[in-house]
Structure 1
Amino acid sequence: MKRNFLILSSFLLGVLLSMLTSCSSDTPDTPEQHAVTIRATLPEGSGIESLEGIAIEFLDLRTQHKEEKQLDKSGICQVKLDASVYTITIRGEIGNNSIVAILENYSISENATLEMPLIITKIKPTGLLFKEVFFNGETNNGQMMHPDQYFIIYNNSDNVVYADGVAFGLTAHANPLGEDAFTQELNQNNRIVLSMIYTIPGNGTQYPVQPGGQLVIAGTAINHYDADHPNSVDLSGADLEIFEPDQPEAYGQDVDNPNVPNLVKIFNRFGVFMMHPRGFMPPVLFEIDEPIETFLAKNQFEYTNNEGQTVMLYAVPVENVLDGIETGNTGNFKVKSLPVTVDRSMIGVPGCHRQVLIARKTEERNGRIYMIDTNDSENDCEAIQGQNSFPAK
């Protein structure tokens, strides 16, 4: 009996050692790791100066494990990864730029440096609209005045909106006139032909507009008020201005306030910035969601004027419009310049140089002031006496 016990014990010990050896051989080795450097590259002319903080994700397709890192200022990320197959994703926002790059099913089996070209798209600046537009001018000691024209862009949303690159224009169609080539283009191709385009400068992060915040944009950002111009106002504290260094001599020399940044002039068929004092050519606020050269090439509008001359203008697709107000002269209105999807009606001034301001009505919700915006200026806006002053602080 004792001998049998010893044989059984030896057998069990052999089985146990065999099991231990078997388990040891079945245990996978620790995966080999490799040093990987990611270089995210920006497209030429993006204007973005730093990629610091942009997220990059490494998804191990074998284990579904995710590792998240961030790019540095120059777009580099260094990481150690297990040998496996990965999907690498870069995604984030810088100002009004959305940034993305994806590299799928990439096998990591050795140290590597990978370049990932970034795709940059513009984030639509939803919520920006006109708060005030002063184009009507005033009379000062018998002199008609309109260099103190201005408009205000307001952020009606609950989020920070970057205004960099947002465009301002005036329609080419004057609404006291009947149907013409411009209204035909609008009706047939859903594009608004413009007489001028200016854009807010910036690389996507320079002009954040807080919820309930605004940008005051002056025709000329100086103090227009003095003894000879008692009905004018001080615009020296505007956020931006429009400067025309080469305007026609008949309009005199434009004044540039060195303390106020200038809008970027894209084109102006008149060579001078001036909103019609009766509002005949309504203002439009819109986005340009591609390089300006591409936008202009796609949106040329050529027509023949009454003198038989060929004139090149530019149009904006209605889908790009952020806001527009069908301004005009009450009792002197024939065909709308803006589509009903932008403004169903119109808001008029009683005449030229009456010092009438077009202002958007407001309402209070949850302790904050919002602009009323139903795309119906008769409901949303009012014509009030007297423009506002924005002196330098």
Structure 2
Amino acid sequence: MKRSLYLMMTIVTGFCACQKKDLGSTATPVNLSVAIEYNSEVSSIGLRKDSALVRITNNTSGTTKETYTNINGVASFESITPGHYTITASISIPRSTYQQLSGTVVEQDVAFNGNITNESITQQQTKIKVPLVTGRIGNWVFKQIYYAGSNTSSGAVFRDQFFEIYNNSTDTLYADSLCFAQLIGVNNTSANYPTHGYLPNNQFDWTKSVGMNDANANTNYVYARAVFMIPGTGKQLPVLPGKSMVIAQTALDHTAPYYLNDGTMQQITNPALTIDLSGADFEAYLVDYKRAESGNSPTFNPYKWDVDNPAVPNLKVFYSTINDMILENTGRDAFVLYKTGGADPKTGFPFFAAPNITTVLPTTNLYQQIPVQLVIDAVELQRVTESSRVPKRLPNSLDAGPTNVSGGEYTSQSLVRKTARSVNGRRILQDTNNSANDFVTRAKADPSKTDASFTY
């Protein structure tokens, strides 16, 4: 997967001088050996190791090579330029084979994935082991997405939205610097678009964006209208296997009245329709970001529903074209979780205007370009009625099928990822790279993170 020259140069400038020297074109090529190994839960049951796909990506040049493992689970790469690499490995075990070897009943083929980010390959470091685990590469997944909101007159409308991220691996993961982005895309069903800036399916054609110089702009990247990051310096926010974190739009108890930023009281008519988010792990608070964006104008008025709960930490806000982390109630939306691989979340990736814009002005909205190879999990939503659905915005490599709550907007319903199986009390959530298969509708959103918040 190759990145644009602009992106490559941006990331390179963030490296220190000694790293630039280490990654120079004069370095002597090395032969790299990558061995896969299964996690301890299944390492002894006899799963095959041959035919796993191993891919290595140079983090500086974006050059990608891939090959398959031999019978011993080893993939060999010749004449590799020393440097920092992302190494991924994946293998799918047929359902019948896995059941026979493990004695565990499964509903689908079992995918094992491994990911090592920013591994330094040198003359002395030419043998790498990649642990394989079930679930997506990276092992963070969206567990629950509450986008529909609650009743517009007796509920909380959009104010009680949240999403829940889950550690789907066997290892403790750290949420520090995990990014969440809402993506931009065409949000209507009209088939009568102008010819400039659109694909045949009426979604944006990002190769036509002003300043774009990448023929793979539609497949190798996604484009964000809002970017948030969980704060932390590296290992401040451990999340144990099978545990999760709740990210609220506004971390307040929405079943009770509270004051808005304009001093008025927000009432609630039917508390049973909404939820208490005062116990969320993080919230999105954009008032300070929007105030700074206005140049600290004395006439700035904060968005009245973006109320801060001082008891709940705020996400870092790097970019947003809207006033709050408002998820599209009707389902015309898509989200990604990713880590930047060392690049600055705010400046490490370029921004582009929508492809239907031919002249970029100072007031034109720009959208950040995020490499697909950095995405850990992705979910695309759609409207309930197929005739009302908008053009698909996520490439199939991230999400082969969009999903939705069964009742549509303002129903208090949430999406919850299915449980594939449990191991010693830890749930392994289903992730087939197809949200239409992986999620089900919950009658009412549940941010408790308890066993009751899952589904089977």
TM range (shorter): 0.5 to 0.7
Match of 1:57 in 2: none
**C-alpha displacement at 1:356, in angstroms?**
1.9
Work out whether 1:268 is the aligned partner of 2:320: yes
Q: Distance in 1 between matches of 2:237 and 2:442?
A: 29
8 Å CA contact 2:221–2:370 kept in 1: the answer is: yes
Match of 1:323 in 2: 377
8 Å CA contact 2:208–2:355 kept in 1: the answer is: no
1:267-293 alpha-carbon deviations (Å, 9 max, x no partner):
001232201111212111111112316
Structure 1 unaligned regions, length at least 5: 1-42, 45-95, 105-123
Q: Distance in 1 between matches of 2:254 and 2:380?
A: 27
Match of 1:341 in 2: 397
8 Å CA contact 2:281–2:313 kept in 1: the answer is: yes
Work out whether 1:239 is the aligned partner of 2:281: yes
**C-alpha displacement at 1:339, in angstroms?**
1.0
Quick one: structure 1 residues 183 and 257, their matched pair in 2 at CA, closer, same or farther if it must change by over 3 Å? farther
Q: Distance in 2 between matches of 1:125 and 1:169?
A: 18
Match of 1:296 in 2: 347
For residue 380 of structure 1, what is the amino acid of its counterpart?
D
Q: Distance in 1 between matches of 2:156 and 2:172?
A: 39
Quick one: structure 1 residues 375 and 164, their matched pair in 2 at CA, closer, same or farther if it must change by over 3 Å? same
**C-alpha displacement at 1:363, in angstroms?**
2.5
Quick one: structure 1 residues 250 and 176, their matched pair in 2 at CA, closer, same or farther if it must change by over 3 Å? farther
Q: Distance in 2 between matches of 1:224 and 1:144?
A: 7
8 Å CA contact 1:233–1:388 kept in 2: the answer is: yes
Match of 1:281 in 2: 333
Match of 2:421 in 1: 364
TM-score, structure 1 normalization: 0.63
Q: Distance in 1 between matches of 2:207 and 2:356?
A: 14
After TM superposition, the structure 1 stretch with the greater mean CA deviation from structure 2, 172-181 or 334-343, is 172-181
Q: Distance in 1 between matches of 2:397 and 2:442?
A: 25
Structure 2 SS opposite 1:319: helix
Work out whether 1:191 is the aligned partner of 2:221: yes
For residue 383 of structure 1, what is the amino acid of its counterpart?
T
Work out whether 1:311 is the aligned partner of 2:368: no
**C-alpha displacement at 1:253, in angstroms?**
4.8
Which of 109, 120, 140 is equivalent to 1:128?
140
8 Å CA contact 2:146–2:414 kept in 1: the answer is: yes
Quick one: structure 1 residues 235 and 174, their matched pair in 2 at CA, closer, same or farther if it must change by over 3 Å? farther
After TM superposition, the structure 1 stretch with the greater mean CA deviation from structure 2, 367-376 or 239-248, is 239-248
Match of 1:220 in 2: 250
For residue 266 of structure 1, what is the amino acid of its counterpart?
F
1:104-135 alpha-carbon deviations (Å, 9 max, x no partner):
9xxxxxxxxxxxxxxxxxxx982101000101
Match of 1:385 in 2: 443
Quick one: structure 1 residues 131 and 209, their matched pair in 2 at CA, closer, same or farther if it must change by over 3 Å? same
Q: Distance in 1 between matches of 2:226 and 2:382?
A: 18
8 Å CA contact 1:130–1:360 kept in 2: the answer is: yes
**C-alpha displacement at 1:182, in angstroms?**
4.6
Q: Distance in 1 between matches of 2:301 and 2:155?
A: 19
Q: Distance in 2 between matches of 1:304 and 1:99?
A: 35
Q: Distance in 2 between matches of 1:125 and 1:259?
A: 33
Match of 2:203 in 1: 179
- Tell me which protein shows more strand as a share of its residues: 1
Quick one: structure 1 residues 342 and 100, their matched pair in 2 at CA, closer, same or farther if it must change by over 3 Å? closer
Match of 1:109 in 2: none
Which of 147, 172, 177 is equivalent to 1:165?
177
8 Å CA contact 2:382–2:402 kept in 1: the answer is: yes
| Root mean square deviation, CA, Å | 3.2
TM-score, structure 2 normalization: 0.55
Structure 2 unaligned regions, length at least 5: 1-14, 17-115, 125-135, 190-201, 210-215, 257-267, 291-299, 450-456
Identity, % of aligned pairs? Answer: 28
Which of 204, 207, 210 is equivalent to 2:234?
204
Aligned length: 278
The structure with the larger Rg is: 1
Quick one: structure 1 residues 175 and 336, their matched pair in 2 at CA, closer, same or farther if it must change by over 3 Å? farther
**C-alpha displacement at 1:181, in angstroms?**
3.8
8 Å CA contact 2:228–2:315 kept in 1: the answer is: yes
8 Å CA contact 1:175–1:337 kept in 2: the answer is: no
8 Å CA contact 1:97–1:204 kept in 2: the answer is: no
Quick one: structure 1 residues 154 and 359, their matched pair in 2 at CA, closer, same or farther if it must change by over 3 Å? same
Structure 2 SS opposite 1:374: coil
For residue 179 of structure 1, what is the amino acid of its counterpart?
Q
Structure 1 SS opposite 2:437: helix
Structure 1 SS opposite 2:224: strand
1:82-121 residue pairs with structure 2 within 5 A?
Answer: none
For residue 256 of structure 1, what is the amino acid of its counterpart?
D
Which of 393, 400, 410 is equivalent to 1:353?
410
For residue 442 of structure 2, what is the amino acid of its counterpart?
I
Q: Distance in 1 between matches of 2:394 and 2:219?
A: 13
8 Å CA contact 1:141–1:229 kept in 2: the answer is: no
Q: Distance in 2 between matches of 1:97 and 1:317?
A: 14
1:291-348 alpha-carbon deviations (Å, 9 max, x no partner):
316x634332234666965332201111111111111112222321111111111112
Structure 2 SS opposite 1:173: coil
Q: Distance in 2 between matches of 1:190 and 1:99?
A: 22
For residue 415 of structure 2, what is the amino acid of its counterpart?
I
